[in-house]
């Protein structure tokens, strides 16, 4: 028999039996002691339930995590039965919410979705990679052309080439962000990070030194402070560079010419904290949290002309999460913003490159 009868309230309901039969996802019914009292065919197959016994939830393969999830101590949205097979549990109490007679647990199969997300990320990665190759060569030739255009009589073509180059720089930045967003997707776990020993102060200084300041912001004042006790630590250099570049890029983008940007690298307890403070327009409190979500941009008339994908801060937060760290912002409208990236001081590299 595919469906055991519901025993929690002593009644057998044919309707519920049919419902259980109809759903393609595994469904189990638990009594108040978390013992399985009924299940449908997909659940029987998934957990190899024989029907001879009524096991406890904790006795099922991977059941301990489901128990944690049921008691609310596990907030992971996905439960992996194996590397490939993933389910998302949904739980509903039976009867009174405060004093339930048991629970219905439905496990939604996420395996196929996971595969789709992965292939989508792979597709994005391939396309952005293929676009970068010709772009790099166009940037190279445009830069060579720029060097040939010297003298007053060539001022106009030089001006055009400068415009082309700054447009190409924007394009390159956008492509890098799209590429990174595919690699850093926490849902796919697509990107395998590699920690090597690196000096966060050196990374920050290098990025700022090489940053192509836009021609319309000649009077931005940038100050970098690296505290003496900032340690060399094990982090994914590439990820760290991307995060810092995005934070600095935003500070430049969203700060008017003539204002100041302060970058501070410090150690605080077991963390290295990189703070990028600007004196721009600031961010209203209601927008501060969602900025870190993928593709989120704040609609403000002052920012209308500023190009972006809404991926920069998503990347910053993903980098923080991959390192077991944090990213957040403190800001008041009109008072500028300070973005923080805090990474734990890990001393052991994961892989020697």
Tokens encoding 110? 């996420």
Q: How far is the CB of 265 from ligand ADP (least distance, A)?
A: 17
- How far apart (Å, rounded) are the C-alpha atoms in residues 105 and 47? 14
Please state, as a whole number, how many other Cβ atoms lie within 10 Å of the Cβ of residue 276. 25
* Residue (175 or 298) nearer to ligand ADP, CB: 298
Residue 298 as a binder of ligand ADP (CB under 6 A): the answer is: yes
* Residue (94 or 311) nearer to ligand ADP, CB: 311
Stretch that binds ligand ADP, among 48-56, 69-77, 305-313, 342-350 (CB under 6 A): 305-313
Residue of 93, 100, 214, 310 that binds ligand ADP (CB under 6 A):
310
Please state, as a whole number, how many other Cβ atoms lie within 10 Å of the Cβ of residue 177. 22
Stretch that binds ligand ADP, among 24-32, 180-188, 206-214, 277-285 (CB under 6 A): 277-285
Residue 309 as a binder of ligand ADP (CB under 6 A): the answer is: yes
* Binding residues with ligand ADP: total (CB under 6 A): 21
- How far apart (Å, rounded) are the C-alpha atoms in residues 182 and 205? 27
152 DSSP 8-state letter: G
Residue 297 as a binder of ligand ADP (CB under 6 A): the answer is: yes
Residue of 60, 70, 235, 281 that binds ligand ADP (CB under 6 A):
281
Residues with Cβ within 8 Å of 4's Cβ and at least 6 positions away in sequence, in order, are 37, 38, 39, 51, 54
Beta strands in 167-314 (DSSP E): 196-198, 221-226, 233-235, 260-268, 271-278
Tokens encoding 266? 């410090």
Stretch that binds ligand ADP, among 55-63, 181-189, 204-212, 248-256 (CB under 6 A): 248-256
Residue 278 as a binder of ligand ADP (CB under 6 A): the answer is: yes
Residue of 110, 273, 291, 320 that binds ligand ADP (CB under 6 A):
291
- The Cβ-side half-sphere exposure at 127, using a 13 Å CA radius, reads 11
Q: How far is the CB of 243 from ligand ADP (least distance, A)?
A: 11
Residue of 36, 94, 207, 283 that binds ligand ADP (CB under 6 A):
283
Stretch that binds ligand ADP, among 8-16, 102-110, 220-228, 276-284 (CB under 6 A): 276-284
- How far apart (Å, rounded) are the C-alpha atoms in residues 177 and 193? 17
Strand order in the sheet with 337-344: 221-226, 260-268, 271-278, 337-344, 326-331
The contact set with ligand ADP (CB under 6 A) reads 246, 250-251, 254, 278, 280-281, 283, 291, 296-298, 303, 308-314, 337
């Amino acid at each position: 028999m595919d469906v055991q009868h519901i025993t929690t309230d002593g009644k057998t309901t044919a309707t519920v039996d049919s419902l259980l039969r109809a759903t393609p996802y595994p469904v189990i019914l638990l009594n108040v002691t978390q013992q399985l009292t009924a299940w449908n065919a997909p659940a029987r197959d998934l957990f190899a339930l024989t029907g001879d016994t009524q096991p406890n939830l904790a006795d099922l393969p991977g059941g301990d995590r489901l128990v944690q999830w049921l008691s609310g101590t596990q907030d992971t949205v996905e439960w992996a039965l194996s590397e490939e097979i993933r389910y998302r549990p949904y739980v509903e109490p039976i009867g009174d919410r405060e004093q339930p007679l048991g629970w219905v647990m439905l496990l939604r199969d996420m395996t196929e979705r996971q595969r789709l997300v992965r292939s989508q990320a792979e597709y994005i990665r391939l396309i952005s990679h293929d676009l970068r190759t010709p772009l790099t060569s166009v940037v190279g030739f445009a830069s060579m052309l720029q060097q040939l255009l010297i003298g007053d009589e060539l001022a106009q073509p030089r001006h055009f080439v400068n415009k082309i180059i700054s447009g190409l720089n924007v394009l390159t930045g956008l492509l890098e962000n799209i590429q990174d967003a595919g690699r850093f997707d926490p849902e796919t776990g697509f990107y395998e990070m590699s920690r090597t020993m690196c000096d966060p102060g050196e990374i920050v200084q290098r990025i700022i030194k090489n940053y192509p300041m836009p021609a319309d912001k000649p009077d931005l004042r940038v100050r970098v402070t690296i505290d003496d006790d900032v340690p060399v630590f094990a982090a994914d250099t590439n990820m760290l560079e991307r995060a810092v570049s995005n934070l600095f890029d935003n500070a430049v983008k969203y700060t008017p010419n003539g204002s100041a940007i302060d970058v501070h690298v410090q150690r605080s307890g077991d963390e290295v904290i990189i703070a990028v403070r600007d004196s721009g327009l600031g961010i209203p409190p209601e927008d501060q949290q969602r900025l870190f979500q993928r593709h989120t941009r704040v609609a403000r008339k002052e920012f209308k002309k500023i190009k972006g994908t809404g991926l920069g801060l998503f990347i910053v937060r993903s980098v923080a999460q991959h390192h077991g760290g944090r990213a957040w912002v403190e800001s008041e409208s009109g008072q500028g913003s300070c973005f923080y990236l805090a990474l734990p001081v890990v001393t052991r590299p994961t892989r020697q490159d």
